[in-house]
Structure 1
Amino acid sequence: MYLNKLFRARNIFNCLKFPVRHFASQSDNNKISIYFRRAKLIDSIRLALRSSETSSSFTSLLNDPSLDSFVVSNALVSAPSITSVTSFVESLKSIPQFSHTQHTLYVLAKVLAKFKQTAKLKALINGINSGKFPKVAPISYMDLLRWYSTAGDFDSFLATWDEMRYSRKQPSLEAYNIVMRIYAQRGMNCEAVEILHMMIGEGVVPNSRTYTVMIEQLISNGKLELAMNIFSLLPEMHVNRTLLQYSLLIGAFTSANQFDTVKSLLSNMQMDGMVPSVSIRESLHQMQEAGFFMETANFVQEMLPDDRIKNISLLEDDDDDDNEVMLKPWLDPAALANALRYWGPEEVSKLEDAKVIWTSRLVCKMIRNLHPIETAWKFFCWVSQQPGFSHNSCTISKMVTILARHGHTDLVSELLSKVKSEGIKLPFGQVRTIINYYSVSRNGEAALKVFHDVNKLCGPVPKNYLSLLYSTLLLTLAKSKMTSDALDVLDDMILSGIIPKIETFSGLMHCFAHQGDIRAVQRIFSMAKQSGVEPDAYMLKLLISFYCKSNRAILAFRVFEEMRNDDNLMMPDFATKQLLVKSLWKESKFREAAFVEDKTQGMNNDPSLVSRSSLFKTKFLHLKTVYDIYSSAFMRTNSEDAE
């Protein structure tokens, strides 16, 4: 099915002129063999951790030559209870050849936090920081925040956050996300909003996890529509929507019996190329009970367990089958991919001997983790010939996007041609990602080719999704310095009835201004106004900065006057105003410089305005809208509570 005939006929990999590399099989007892020995030992320890005779079960297992920090770490993570964790750790003390590493100790801390063992967690932290383990580095603020948040130790969490804030170390984005999430989970909504405000003020750009926190918080407070509003804005902000966000929204709207919204979410999920998770299984069953069988059938089918994957088991009592412990075999795609870094005949032979059950999910994870790209492609071709496996749109789209990210245009083109000839439909989100990756390699020609084939690759594309695709293509062409093509595509977009959003116009102006193309900047600004798009303060700021840097301060001054004459009385930020005044002085326009100074008296160096330029570079112009939605929800709640 699909590409199997293609790969049996010949190996397309040979058509690509990759740099020649010869990966000799490693002599260190073969990494693939080591991986599977470790996997077998991890499975044995996982079963022993669930045995009623845990201590005695460990005796022979822990003397296995394959025991190392990797095995111990993965066994700890799978422990079912704090009792089994304690027994396992105590048993390790009797193994002279084993000593803890930083990795095993950090995993132990994470497990203790998961089981809310605050006292034991603090004792371990103190031991590490006091130098009890010489080869282990002191614990960072980030790790402490993660562990205390998981353990539910709010006082220690706040103390660590305060210490981090008052140190010279700038909190990272993930630190802000953790703090924001903890406040939201504890119902401290105003504090969570304040953290987001602090992030923006300090120029920290939110990521998809930040928006997940907002969506989850709004849902938990019954603000489903507001959560959906933020979620709907993410594609326009070039932020990837995540499976967790979909799961949260599907679960919330299913509970509210808003099945039409759930139907729309499932459709968007398919467009984005998302594979459903187990967490939405109950929601899908409720949808089917409500009569939405056709809309959910494919998702339910994808979530069915694969009968080919057999459980591992441990029978506690031969006379009582109810005491049998059964688990899915342990498999870590990232670790297996790392073991396959050197792809040679011996590695392939060991992989075939292992009789791995290849599923679409597993293959996608393998492709994502395999390095270098040559190995990923060889694996992709090899796995297509394995018994019981056929490539589908999920695995193909994953391979194509990775090839595009690494700039292998010829192979992407050939694979997409095969996709079209086989009638396979790729998810829209993956096709858009391909075009976006071509902006990195500055390959606008390839992006145009993919864009023109979008209906053959994805099927009919809804108008709102087509608008996103146009926007992505335009910025790719602009970055590729294909000015004429970008302007032609912009014309076609408008003529087809799709009016670009102001962020698209601003993005093009930003790219062409960076290239010093004054005619392109002026034409795009004119097209925006002709399309009925009202310039905002940021677009005008772009023009002022561009004109000043092009030694055309008088044109920048006219833009400033236009801002002043606008009904909304827009003002440039402090840095732009300073640049304008300096440029006017440089060109001997003293009267105009004095006018700007007079009209901007009392202007402060507002960090939120300054940071917006850096936010733009990562395509977050909608951030203010999102912040207003998020903050206003809890502002209203607070005022109602006050009443």
Structure 2
Amino acid sequence: MIHDGAYPNYRTYTIVMHHLVSLGKLNEAHEIFETLPSMRIKRTVNQYLILAQGFSGVERFEVVKKLFQEMERDGIVPTQNMVSSLKCLQDAGVLEGLEGLWRELMPDKRIASIGVDVDSSDDEGDENVGKGDSCRVDGDDVRLKPWLDPGALANALSDWDPTDVLALENANFVWTTRLVCKMLRRFKKAETAWKFFCWVAYQPGEFTHDGFTISRMITMLARYGHVELVDQLIMKVKRERIRLSFSTVRLVIDFYGLSKQPDAALRVFYDIETVSGAISKHHQSLLYSSLLRTLVKCKRGSDVMDVLEEMILSGIIPDIQTFSGLMQYFALEGDLKTVQKLFGIVRQSGIEPDAYMFQVLIRAYCKRERAALAVRIYEDMRNSNLIPDSATKALLVKSLWKEGKLREAAYVEEISEDINDMLPPALPGHLWTVSAADLKRVYDIYSNSFASNVG
């Protein structure tokens, strides 16, 4: 899969983890799970569920407790399928610190229950609605509506027509954090989601917005560039001392790159400790990477170098995929001096460039019609015993011919004779997200699990 240039996504890693857990390879599955953030892969509720059930089955409750704590920090709404794992923690006497999560998963006394909860998790890490999610209360008569589909309801409210809103109010739904999160996820327009978000806060009952619902709303607003509304929610978070997860803050910064709001991203970045508390060096590194990527998307090159300098002075060195992304950006901007400066920083930091980084530089120089510089990079690559992919080598030769540098083209062909039969169609790695080393690490964990079984 990687050899052909098709990279695994979170669904792939979920399948891999499930397979390892089914083989009893819990430590290996957990190791892959811990690697996902550095590869910018979203950790889903399904993955947490797989690991929680696996470690509960062998009574490794301290690991289960840490998983639930990480899930809270990731801002992931738990599912009813996790009750059994939490019950194991309670029976073992290690539930301390997870009481809020326990209360969230316990059946709401206002909602009657029928049969077995059929909640499952979809591919996005959000659970489908099952029995007992909501009901309508008419006096003493409780009529369950287990077939409630948040997607259909959100579509029906897409225009927020007063008649539809009145019908929703008359339905007397019991609003819970889980149901509100599902609704927010399924609105297609941020404006309608915001109207619902404000409306539901004033409905009769015990519902109040918390970190989960605010996280869903704030990321959607950031994606569509509603900076003022995001700022309002951040003020609410500070005022009510609600903690947003690190994952939420990073998503906001990433989405500001899509909506081209670099100044807003900078404000959120420098406000991280106020809304999320102290974060680790590893999380700081990931957050810096998201900010740099957002600034690049917004073509704020001068700010990029200032933030990079600040990052390094604080003792945090960007990972190799971040450097690759920066090099490509400045190369395509025609700022080859900055590209060379970045490559020098990589060398000074003790980072060994991988084949993908060399490929990025070669392709970028060729696109700027500076193939002669690309030849030097190609030489460095070969001297490091690394090989390019077939497309990159062909691009370099073609660019040299196009620029009239026939001697250099012949030289590239000459030093490539011994590897022409080995050139892969694609090299492992990706700008900003995953490095070749991370992909190899996951591959080795997975493949070695089967090797140990054979032995």
Q: Report the TM range for the smaller structure's normalisation.
A: 0.7 to 0.9
* Sequence identity percentage: 50
Kept in 2, the 8 Å contact 1:273–1:394? The answer is: yes
What is residue 72 of structure 1 aligned with on the other side? none
In the TM superposition, 1:204-603 aligns within 5 A as 204-311=6-113, 329-388=146-205, 389-566=207-384, 569-603=385-419
In structure 2, relative to structure 1, the CA distance for the partners of 1:368 and 1:300 (3 Å cut) is same
Greater per-residue helix proportion: 1
In structure 2, relative to structure 1, the CA distance for the partners of 1:290 and 1:499 (3 Å cut) is farther
Distance in 1 (CA, whole Å) between partners of 2:75 and 2:289 is: 19
In the TM superposition, 1:174-193 aligns within 5 A as none
TM-score (norm 1): 0.63
Distance in 2 (CA, whole Å) between partners of 1:605 and 1:361 is: 55
Residue 242 of structure 1, CA deviation: 0.6
Deviates more, 1:393-402 or 1:494-503: 494-503
Code of the aligned partner of 2:395: L
In structure 2, relative to structure 1, the CA distance for the partners of 1:562 and 1:602 (3 Å cut) is closer
Residue 518 of structure 1, CA deviation: 2.0
Distance in 2 (CA, whole Å) between partners of 1:268 and 1:312 is: 31
Structure 2 gap ranges (5+): 116-142
Structure 1 gap ranges (5+): 1-198, 314-325
Distance in 2 (CA, whole Å) between partners of 1:254 and 1:609 is: 43
Residue 288 of structure 1, CA deviation: 2.7
Kept in 1, the 8 Å contact 2:332–2:368? The answer is: no
TM-score (norm 2): 0.87
Distance in 1 (CA, whole Å) between partners of 2:62 and 2:114 is: 41
Distance in 2 (CA, whole Å) between partners of 1:618 and 1:562 is: 22
User: Alignment RMSD, CA only?
Assistant: 2.4
After superposition, what is the alpha-carbon deviation per residue over 1:530-572, rounded to whole angstroms, capped at 9, x for unaligned?
2111111111111122222223222222212212222xx1122
After superposition, what is the alpha-carbon deviation per residue over 1:292-311, rounded to whole angstroms, capped at 9, x for unaligned?
22133222111111111135
After superposition, what is the alpha-carbon deviation per residue over 1:311-347, rounded to whole angstroms, capped at 9, x for unaligned?
579xxxxxxxxxxxx9664321111111112313222
In structure 2, relative to structure 1, the CA distance for the partners of 1:590 and 1:636 (3 Å cut) is farther
What is residue 146 of structure 1 aligned with on the other side? none
Distance in 1 (CA, whole Å) between partners of 2:3 and 2:349 is: 33
Distance in 1 (CA, whole Å) between partners of 2:283 and 2:179 is: 29
Residue 411 of structure 1, CA deviation: 1.6
Distance in 1 (CA, whole Å) between partners of 2:432 and 2:358 is: 19
Kept in 1, the 8 Å contact 2:215–2:248? The answer is: yes
Distance in 2 (CA, whole Å) between partners of 1:516 and 1:626 is: 36
Residue 467 of structure 1, CA deviation: 1.6
What is residue 73 of structure 1 aligned with on the other side? none
Distance in 2 (CA, whole Å) between partners of 1:310 and 1:255 is: 30
Residue 435 of structure 1, CA deviation: 0.6
In structure 2, relative to structure 1, the CA distance for the partners of 1:512 and 1:479 (3 Å cut) is farther
In structure 2, relative to structure 1, the CA distance for the partners of 1:372 and 1:562 (3 Å cut) is closer
User: 1:616 aligned to 409, 415, 430, which one?
Assistant: 430
After superposition, what is the alpha-carbon deviation per residue over 1:507-549, rounded to whole angstroms, capped at 9, x for unaligned?
2223333333323322222222221111111111111222222
Kept in 1, the 8 Å contact 2:5–2:425? The answer is: no
Residue 611 of structure 1, CA deviation: 6.1
The number of equivalent residue pairs is 426
In structure 2, relative to structure 1, the CA distance for the partners of 1:456 and 1:272 (3 Å cut) is same
After superposition, what is the alpha-carbon deviation per residue over 1:347-400, rounded to whole angstroms, capped at 9, x for unaligned?
222111111111111111111112332221111111111112211111111111
